[in-house]
Structure 1
Amino acid sequence: MRLRSTALLSTLAVTGIALVGCSGEPAPESSPSASAAGDLCGAAVGSGAASEAVTVEGEPGEASTATFEKPLEITELQSTVVAEGEGEPIEAGQLIEYAMSAYDATTGEELGVIGYEEGQLLPQQITPESVFAQILGCATVGTRVVSTFPASQGQDGSEVPGQVYVFDLTGVTPSAAWGDPQEPVEGEPTVGLADDGEPTITLPDAEAPSETQVSELKVGDGDTVESGDQVLVQYTGVKWSDGSVFDSSWVNGAPTAFVTNQVVPGFTKALEGQTVGSQVLVTMPPADGYGSSEGHELQDETLTFVVDILATQHPAPAQ
C-alpha cells in the first residue's frame, strides 16, 4: 500500500476524481438523450494524444506503474482503454468498485495508489452524469483505463497541476445485503424483503426495549467494520410509537455513507464489529438515539432500523 497521507487519500478518493468539474477546460456533458436512456456508453469521453502517450506496466487489478514524457501536455479530459475486462458491462445506477493510481503530469511523480487492498475505498454509484461515466463509459468489469486531467483550480484557489490516473474497474457491489440468512430472534421486530431487498419492518405488540438490541438477519463474508470506519449502507428506520417509517435510503434513492463514530450510539453499536454483506436489525431507546438532542423530533422515540452493510472504508494510516 502506497499512501502519502490522510490528505492525499481524501484527494484521491473524493476530490481528486472531481477535478474535471473545476478544470480550466470543462469536461463534455452527457447529451440529454444519453442521460434519459441511462446510456453510460454515450457519456464516455474519447481517447486522445495525452492519454495515449501514457505507458502502463502491471496487470489490471494490481498496482501499476505509469510512465510518460514530462511534462505531459493535457488540454482536456481524455480516457484510453489499455486493457479490456472479461466481466459484464456496467450499468447506470450500479455501485462500482475501483482502484487507482495518480501521477503529476508535470513531474511524473507518483501521487498515490489506493483501492488495491480491502477497506481502502467505498464503491461509487455510476450515472451518465458522473465523472466516472466520462472515464469508464460502459466498460466491462476488469477493464483498466488511463485518464488525463487538465490543470485546475483547487477549492482554496491554488493551482492544481494536470494529473494522470490509472483506473481499474474491479467489480460491482450489490445494492442489498448478500450474507447468509440467520434465524430471527423471537420477540424482536420481523422483517420482510422486497425483490430488490427493501425491507418492511413489523413491530411486535410489546413494550419498547429499555436497552439497545442488535441481531444479525444476514451475516456477510466481507471485511469487518472497525471503529471510525466510513461505511456505505442501505437502511430503513421506523418509530416504535406507531411503526411509521421516518427515514429510508431506499426511499431516498441511493445508499448513504457515514462514519461509525459520528452517528447516534445505537448505530455505532449496530455496525462496529459486523462484516460487509451483513444485514443488521437494531432497536435503540432514546438514550442511544436522539435522546440528548434537545428539541429533535425523535428525541423521545425508540427507533428500529434494518441496515444493510454494503462496504466499509478504514481510516488512512497515520503518516
Structure 2
Amino acid sequence: MRIRPLAALSVAAMSALLLAGCSGSAEPDASPTPSSSSASDCGLDPQPGADSDAITISGAAPELTAQVPADLEFADLQRTVAVDGDGDDLAIGQLVSGQYLVIDPSTGEVLLDSATTTPDDSGLIPIIVDGNSIFGSSVLCTPLGSATAFTIPGSMLGEGAANAVVVAQSVGELPTVATGADQEPVAGMPEVELDDDGTPAITIPDQDPPTEVQIADLKLGDGATVESGDTVFVQYSGVKWSDGSEFDSSWSRGAPSQFETTGVVQGFQQALEGQTVGSQVLVVIPPAFGYGEGEINDQDLKGETLVFVVDILGVQRAAAAE
C-alpha cells in the first residue's frame, strides 16, 4: 500500500503508521501478534542530534507542547531527552502511562495529541515500551518521567511518507497483568491456572466444542470500558481446542500487545468490547467466529475452535476523524 504524504494522513492513519515504525504493520495477523522485539536492549537506539536538540518542549504530560523549527534536516533518526525523569530506566516489555504529540514539521501543526484519545479525564494513554514502534522507542531506555523529542525521516516510515516529529513523556508504570477481582469459574468452560507471574495455563474440557462464542470473566476490573474501534493493550494466550496446543501468546514474547478491536476476528472482538480495564476474560471462539470452517491442518487456524485468556491492561480511544 502506498503511504500518503504526512499532511494528507488522517490522525488515525498517522498513529497506525508510527506504531508500526520500522518493523512493518501494526495490524494483527491471523492472531493478535505484534512484531518481535529488537535484539538490542535499546531497540532503535536513536541518538541526539542537531534536529532533535532544536525542538523545545514545554509543560508536562498531559499538557505537553512543543516548538519545532521549520529548517530541520532529517538526515537520520534522532532522539533528545529534553527532560530527565527521576524513575528507573524503562525496558522492553514494560507498560507505562504517558502522552505523545505527532507534529508535522513543515507547518508545526499537531496532527495527533494522545491526550485527546484518553478514555478518562487523566489525559494519559498506555504506551508499550518496545524497540520497534516509534512511540515505544520514544521512551525506551529513558528514566520514567522523561520527556523526549524524536525526529523521524520520512524514508523510515515508508514510500511517499513525509518527515515527522514525535514528542513524548512517560508518567507512571502500569501493571502488565489483570488486577480485577476474581470471579467464580463457569462450568463447562476451559480451566485456567495462573503462574506466579500471571501467565495462564489453559486446560480444555473433555467434551465437544461449543458452536457459539462463549465468554466468561475470570477477573473483573473497574477501569475504563472498551468501546468498538478502541485500541486495547493486553496480555493474552491462545490455544486450540482440538489439542490444547498454544498457537500465540504475548506472554511467550515477553511484552504486552496492542491492536484495535475492529482489527481482530469477530469472536475476539466480542470478548473485548464492553469489558473493563483490569479484567481478565476467557473466550471460546468457534470457527464461524474465528478463521472459518474447513479441514483442520497445521498451516493455519481454519476449522479450529480457539480459546483465549486475555488480560485487559489499558485502552485508548480512536482518534477523532478529520
TM-score by length of 1: 0.75
Gap runs ≥5 in structure 2: 1-6, 25-37
Aligned to 2:185: 184
Aligned partner (choices 127, 132, 137) of residue 123 of structure 1: 127
Measured after TM superposition, the shift of residue 191 of structure 1 is 1.0
Q: Distance in 1 between matches of 2:61 and 2:310?
A: 30
Question: Is the aligned partner of 1:149 residue 2:152?
Answer: yes
Do the aligned partners of 2:21 and 2:133 also contact (CA within 8 Å) in 1?
no
Partner residue in 1 for 2:92: 92
Once the two structures are superposed, residues 186-214 of structure 1 have per-residue CA deviations (whole angstroms, 9 ceiling, x without a partner) of 44322111122111112334454444321
1 CA distance for matches of 2:176 and 2:208? 33
Distance 1:65 1:316, change over 3 A: closer
Compute the displacement of 1:145 (Å). Answer: 1.7
* Equivalent-residue separation in structure 2 for 1:148 and 1:279 (angstroms): 37
**Which residues of structure 1 form unaligned runs of 5+?**
22-34
One-letter code of the match for 1:18?
A: G
Deviates more, 1:309-318 or 1:267-276: 309-318
User: Could you say which residue in structure 2 is the equivalent of 1:221?
Assistant: 222
Instruction: Give 1:221-300 correspondences, 5 Å limit.
Output: 221-290=222-291, 292-295=292-295, 297=297, 298-300=301-303
Counterparts of 1:212 and 1:265, CA distance in 2: 9
Answering whether residue 108 of structure 2 is matched by residue 108 of structure 1, we say: yes
Separation (CA, whole Å) in 2 of partners of 1:38 and 1:123: 17
Distance in 2, Cα, partners of 1:70 & 1:258: 33
Contact 2:19 2:135 in 1 (8 A): no
Specify whether residues 306 and 14 from structure 1 end up closer, same or farther in structure 2 by C-alpha distance, changes over 3 A only. same
- For the residues of structure 2 that align with 1:202 and 1:214, how far apart are their CA atoms? 16
Residue by residue over 1:252-279, the C-alpha shift from the partner in whole angstroms, topping out at 9 and shown as x without a partner, is 5544444334433322221110012211
Paired residue secondary structure (1:43): coil
Residues 55-77 of structure 1: per-residue CA shift (max 9 Å, x gap) = 3332x212333225543445443
User: What's the counterpart of residue 9 of structure 1?
Assistant: 12
Structure 1 pair 253/296, CA: closer, same or farther in 2 (3 Å)? Answer: farther
CA distance in 1, matches of 2:181, 2:294: 40
Q: Secondary structure at the match of 2:10?
A: helix
Q: Give me the whole-angstrom Cα distance separating, in 1, the residues matched to 2:97 and 2:267.
A: 29
Amino acid at match of 1:43: D
Question: What does the per-residue CA deviation read over 1:214-251, in whole Å, with 9 as the maximum and x for residues that have no partner?
Answer: 11111223321112333333322333344343443333
- CA 1:238 to 1:148, structure 2 compared with 1: closer, same or farther past 3 Å? closer
TM-score by length of 2: 0.74
**Are residues 121 and 294 of structure 1, via their aligned partners in 2, closer, same or farther at CA, if it must alter by over 3 Å?**
farther
Q: C-alpha distance in 2, partners of 1:223/1:39?
A: 31
The share of aligned pairs that are identical, in percent, is: 44
Q: CA deviation at 1:152?
A: 3.9
Q: 1:10 corresponds to which letter in structure 2?
A: A
Distance (Å, rounded) in 1 between the aligned partners of 2:104 and 2:12:
15
Distance 1:109 1:16, change over 3 A: farther
1:168-207 to structure 2, matched below 5 A, reads 168-207=169-208
CA deviations on 1:41-100 (whole Å, 9 max, x unpaired) are x93513x44333333332x21233322554344544333323222333212332344422
Q: In structure 2, how many angstroms separate the alpha carbons of the residues matched to 1:157 and 1:121?
A: 29
